[in-house]
Structure 1
Amino acid sequence: MTSPSKRRVPLWLSIPVVLLILVAAGWLFGASGQVTGVEFSPDLFEHRSFRYYQWCGIRVTTKQTHVWRSEFDDYLHDSGYVDTSGIDEPRWQLVKGFAPHVRGWSGPANSLCLSIGCFNGRDERWITWSNDHPELAKVAWPALVQLSREGKYEAVWELLFRLEEPPLPDVEQLQKFIDDARLRDEG
């Protein structure tokens, strides 16, 4: 007969206890919790919010998404500047994200969204600008869509900056600026 001090805990009881301790420690001390963010599809000109939970940096739930468009996205679609035909597998690029123990991070599409003003309803200014300058919009917005699809977000930022800077270019000057910006971004 063994003494009470030498009794072993049954294996079937010790495994769940150890797992519970590991999960709790990971949740408290690891990069665990909700991860959220926004992605942008240059192919569809749509945004997608996402959310999932992670434990110690490992995703433990499915990624929940919600697709949405800004007012300017809708304007580009409604005006015929965005053609999505033939796009079976759209690309999604990170705009910004937040996770436990991370201050936040941004991706390649962040500069595009900041320039356009996709958040907080600041993109309405480009719709107003388009209504005020329809001939320039016919040149600027197809170029913006194409540059975005090519991942040339710095050229997009330059284009939008130029459109806000007086004096406004004429159509030929704008086309030359777009061509030059595309070449600068390639170099």
Structure 2
Amino acid sequence: MSTSVSNPADPHSVGNKSQGNPSQITGTQGQRPANRGKAADNRKARLWVTLAATVLFVIVGFLVIRTQGYVSGSEFSPSHFQKRDFSFYEIPLIHLQITPIKRSGTTPETAVYLRQTGLIPAATGNPDVWHLVTIQRGLTGRTPADAQLLTDQLELNTGSNPYWKQWCTDHPKLARELWPTIQKLADRELYILMPRMLEIAQNQPSIEALQTEIDKYLKREYAGLIADLKETGRNDLAEALRQEASRDYPGDPAF
């Protein structure tokens, strides 16, 4: 019995084992450059998609902030009788301010006149308190606040003349009684009481009559506001208003 063993030194034997199938080796080597090329193309495609999405996001974000993030309005200082406009940009919905506030003075001529003639107490320094007059966000309409009830009157003109400036010139004694009371109400943010106050002032023949009507009106309105605040559970505000009314009318049983 004989066994055939391959000779390790036989070049034909070694060659057959190491070379294998020439066609399979050639195919594997040819696929690698092609795969690398496809991977590079995929990376480029992802890069361009990311870049395009970023540019689109920036453009859309800019347009949204430019149209919906623009905030403008005006405010009024009761201590100085000054008015100013303001504007800035914010991120919509979350109302995060992203630009500095720009301000410009727009004080009406009548307000300047009241300060210059001493019809309201002169305040020194810069105003610390500002009350909102109007505000507008984006494309929404301008929203008025309570202080507009006063600024509209200060800006009221008859022809080319400021109405209340002319009224003060014509009724200096009544003006000295009216405007300090108006300023006191502005300090307390009681602008809602002013239209009627100004109407009363125009229909009084003397300073005594004006004082009587103003006191009657304010006592009634203070009592009503205090009762309304208590009914809605805002007892702190009701007490603060009661104390202010008590200072104006000490000893009055209503306060």
Aligning the two structures, in what range does the TM-score lie when normalised by the shorter sequence? 0.7 to 0.9
The one-letter code sitting in structure 1 at the alignment partner of 2:185 is L
Aligned to 1:133: 171
Aligned to 1:35: 71
Aligned to 1:64: 102
Aligned to 1:161: 199
Aligned to 1:46: 82
Pairing 1:3–2:38 present? yes
Higher-helix-fraction structure: 2
**Please, which moves more after superposition, 133-142 or 170-179?**
170-179
Q: TM-score, normalised by structure 2?
A: 0.61
CA distance in 2 between counterparts of 1:110 and 1:119 reads: 15
Seen in structure 2, the aligned counterparts of structure 1 residues 58 and 124 have a Cα distance that, compared at 3 Å, is same
Task: Describe how 1:87-166 pairs up with structure 2 within 5 A.
Answer: 90-117=128-155, 124-164=162-202, 166=203
Bigger RCO (CA 8 Å, 6+ sep)? 1
Query: How many pairs were matched up?
Result: 182
CA distance in 2 between counterparts of 1:149 and 1:121 reads: 30
What SS does structure 2 have at the residue aligned with 1:7?
Answer: helix
The one-letter code sitting in structure 1 at the alignment partner of 2:145 is G
Question: Alignment partner for residue 84 of structure 1, among 117, 120, 123?
Answer: 123
**1:178, CA displacement in angstroms?**
2.0
Asked whether the equivalents of residues 40 and 94 of structure 1 are also in contact (C-alpha less than 8 Å), the reply is yes
The one-letter code sitting in structure 1 at the alignment partner of 2:163 is R
Pair member with larger Rg: 2
What CA RMSD, in Å, does the superposition of the two structures yield over aligned residues?
Answer: 3.0
Aligned to 1:23: 58
Pairing 1:175–2:207 present? no
Asked whether the equivalents of residues 78 and 183 of structure 2 are also in contact (C-alpha less than 8 Å), the reply is yes
Structure 2 unpaired stretches of 5+: 1-35, 226-255
Asked whether the equivalents of residues 37 and 98 of structure 1 are also in contact (C-alpha less than 8 Å), the reply is yes
Structure 1 unpaired stretches of 5+: none
Q: What is the percent sequence identity of the aligned residues? A: 25
**Please, which moves more after superposition, 57-66 or 30-39?**
30-39
Higher-strand-fraction structure: 1
**1:33, CA displacement in angstroms?**
4.5
